[in-house]
Amino acid sequence: MLYHIVMETSSDLIVRHKSMTDEVTDRTRRLILSRQLQPGQRITQAELAAMMGVSTMPVREALLRLVAEGMIIADSNRSFTVAMTTTPEGIRDIYWIHSVLAGELAARAWDRRTDALIEYLRSAHKTYMAALKTAGQPELFKANWDFHAAIHRAADAPAIALTMKNTLRYFPDFSYEVPGWNDLAAEWQAGLVREFEKGTPDGARKVVTDSCRRSAELYIAAFWPDQAKPQPAAKRARATAAKR
């Protein structure tokens, strides 16, 4: 199915900064992840160029980058179509792939854990919790990324980390309105700190895989509310209501 939207120039989409192609790529990816560009929707270079206030050259380069990422399909008539990877089932599949890779990194990092690493994770988690209360989105993103990066460095598995990077493109950043996203990151960090302190590599893996699964459902609930899977608490509430 093809979709059509009326594209108008929007002040928050106008590209003003350096690296024009990078900016257009990021903004187009954001439009896809936030469903402003729907799966199956056909788009043209001219439409996106008019929408963002740029020439068609950086738009074409950005669209070709997104083709390589799997978010866009290049059609034979020089137009492009948003790939079906950003449907709810596609998101669940990509997040499952991410969970397998990220879980393996966590388990390997556990095997190589040191007192210094555990202390760093505690400190990074403390920084994130402080940012959660008082800071803005850039600070939250950095604090969460610092925690991730420490795990990845300790795992010392560059091939896995590089492969996982492709799935990260499907994760909205902290500037998206995804209820529960920031709190889930805090739970994920706390769970890993506990496992690295007193747990097991399989426990660390499970913390990561469970968090990825929940991340997918939070994302889907935010942008596809009619296709979200009920969360355990919601299921229990309905079951209790049914018994009354």
Final residue before a domain boundary, out of 86, 105, 135: 86
CB 37 within 8 A of CB 31: yes
- Co-location of 27 and 122 in the same domain: no
Residue range(s) defining the domain that contains residue 56: 20-86
Q: Within a domain: residue 243?
A: no
Q: Within a domain: residue 121?
A: yes
- Co-location of 81 and 133 in the same domain: no
- Co-location of 40 and 144 in the same domain: no
- Co-location of 79 and 92 in the same domain: no
Number of domains the chain is built from: 2
Q: What is the pLDDT along the chain (244 residues), one digit of tens a residue?
A: 333 333 344 444 444 445 799 999 989 998 998 888 999 999 999 999 999 999 999 999 999 999 998 899 998 777 899 998 888 999 999 999 999 999 999 999 999 999 999 999 999 999 999 999 886 778 888 899 999 999 999 999 999 999 998 888 887 765 667 889 899 999 999 999 999 999 999 999 999 999 999 999 999 998 888 777 765 544 443 343 344 3
Final residue before a domain boundary, out of 86, 109, 129: 86
Q: Within a domain: residue 5?
A: no
